[in-house]
Structure 1
């Protein structure tokens, strides 16, 4: 009676070991196939995190030197934050690297997942074992996706902190396009998206170089589309501002100007300046009424005496989390579409052509 009772338990333990063994095998296979991309990504992320952490500490020190306030432009600290200073150039370069990191992930981690198997003719070997093609796909995508999420979350957290510290000491705006993309959890959502898109294009095209080209073109196109459309994802607010007013009111605190805010002198068309009756002056009229001077004091005094104002449409900085959520939802929606496409392509793949 004892063997009859123990046989099912022994069989169950063997099944569990076999299942665990297949997961361990796929984990080892994933590491062997993608180890150089994984290691390179870790190195890049470590450099970004370390460098941005150092810059955050340096900006915090400048903030303390300025009395925990905005650093005046004519101060030694303000000169270090000038537009062409080494500190600002370094921050700009790092911000661009963070912005384009999702593209690198899509090209070097996403694309090879299936193009490698097609080009090396190993699909038949990989998918004819005791692991089904669907399980092989989701296990590899899960492992690599978790890696991408963890790495980009670390970079996103440090990048977000650096951008917020930058607004304390200098004329930075979190609603500007690059800081907007590099704050919150947008780097994570965008990286996951381009990882999935890279896998999908690799599965559809089946060749590495054409798939890489497709990822690059798609990334650039969608980046410019988001840059063009994101200011109007919510209806902008409107405000009238005196042109010489020292207090910018609602345009402070990371507000994004959607329309207005620019004055054109000396042109036949509209200048963007309105008189007290609400009539918009032409650039020629404005130049005739308030001729520009070298130091700007006389012109500002003229604008004040004429009570000219501007109509400005803007997005308040308080909407940044809402905009982050809208853009992240769009990228994650594209991720879902890409994953469904990969699943459909894998199910229809002819193993005999592997």
Structure 2
């Protein structure tokens, strides 16, 4: 807090200005800043290794095993392949779930600790209005999170696209989907907003950490649960058993009876050995067509942008609630906003 109050005298810049407030936030949370920079640097280095020499070494392992054994090609193994898989899995998991770290930090260190120690109240009465204080607390971390994510997500996509044939996960797997697009930033900003709101509501560092984490958890869960509903699906109907496009996300499939009834998750006749057997089976079962509903790989970005918009809307609501709560609280204390 001393930093916040003395910024104007040490730099010649009034703490009431946007620059003075930004510098105050950076100085007060410089440990978190350095940890964030180190995390971005470490993840970037790991993903660049997996994109370049790590991928080449893993491919060499696979080729060596496939030359020795055909069976090994289906279950490849090797020291460099294992290191490559571990690096990809770790970086994907970290990029996908770092929004929870943001939420916990925002609730505990960014807001909760300052309210608990009353340093925020001192700032409001002596140097800066509560509204400008909260705006700076949100704007500076949001800018740094956006800059870091702008580095991590493209690097992850670069690594993932090159090693697609070595990876078991598909584009629609939860962690992969998060780490490969804009939803990562959206959830991080949502975590920042929910953490800030939790800090203001609770007013204590440690409880706010838990509340912020718990607040982001249902948003994360609901996003994974209802993601496929955020963009129109594709439904294919055919008298033959439909074959999905490569890398499509199969959502539901079934049969259409001769009476026009659509029955989902019905695998009747799908084990037929020939076209004649299939036709005979369909006649006996009263089936006229097969159908399947899916998301092709081309829906990746529409789904990303739709979910990003929803999550950012939640973040905006949390920010609005935070400002309203702060205004009401400081109004009762007689502090100018």
Structure 2-normalised TM-score?
0.75
* Aligned with 1:302 (options 262, 270, 273): 273
* Aligned with 1:258 (options 238, 251, 254): 251
| Contact 1:231/1:256 (8 A) holds in 2 | no
1:1-354 aligned within 5 A: 19=14, 22-57=17-52, 58-59=54-55, 79-80=76-77, 85-170=82-167, 172-239=169-236, 249-252=243-246, 254-260=247-253, 272-275=266-269, 302=273, 306-307=277-278, 311-350=291-330
- Please, which runs of 5 or more residues in structure 1 have no aligned partner? 1-16, 262-269, 276-280, 282-289, 291-300
| Contact 1:110/1:196 (8 A) holds in 2 | no
| Contact 2:21/2:133 (8 A) holds in 1 | yes
Residue deviations 1:135-174, cap 9 Å, x none? 1221232112111111122111211222222325555421
Range moving further from structure 2, 301-310 or 213-222:
301-310
Range moving further from structure 2, 309-318 or 330-339:
309-318
| Contact 2:194/2:215 (8 A) holds in 1 | no
Give the 3 Å change call, closer, same or farther, for CA 104–206 of structure 1 in structure 2. Answer: same
Partner of 1:79: helix, strand, or coil? Answer: coil
Structure 1 residue 127, shift from structure 2 partner? 0.8
Higher gyration radius (CA): 1
User: What is the alpha-carbon distance in structure 2 between the residues aligned to residue 313 and residue 242 of structure 1?
Assistant: 15
User: What is the alpha-carbon distance in structure 2 between the residues aligned to residue 311 and residue 170 of structure 1?
Assistant: 29
User: What is the alpha-carbon distance in structure 2 between the residues aligned to residue 75 and residue 39 of structure 1?
Assistant: 44
User: What is the alpha-carbon distance in structure 2 between the residues aligned to residue 111 and residue 316 of structure 1?
Assistant: 41
| Contact 1:124/1:352 (8 A) holds in 2 | no
Range moving further from structure 2, 232-241 or 190-199:
232-241
Structure 1 residue 322, shift from structure 2 partner? 0.7
Residue deviations 1:200-237, cap 9 Å, x none? 11111112222211222222222221111112222322
| Contact 1:199/1:342 (8 A) holds in 2 | yes
Range moving further from structure 2, 335-344 or 28-37:
28-37
| Contact 2:251/2:295 (8 A) holds in 1 | yes
| Contact 1:106/1:194 (8 A) holds in 2 | yes
Which residue in 2 is equivalent to 1:10? none
Partner of 1:128: helix, strand, or coil? Answer: helix
| Contact 1:153/1:185 (8 A) holds in 2 | no
| Contact 1:256/1:314 (8 A) holds in 2 | yes
Partner of 1:259: helix, strand, or coil? Answer: strand
- Please, which runs of 5 or more residues in structure 2 have no aligned partner? 1-11, 64-68, 255-263, 282-288
Partner of 1:312: helix, strand, or coil? Answer: strand
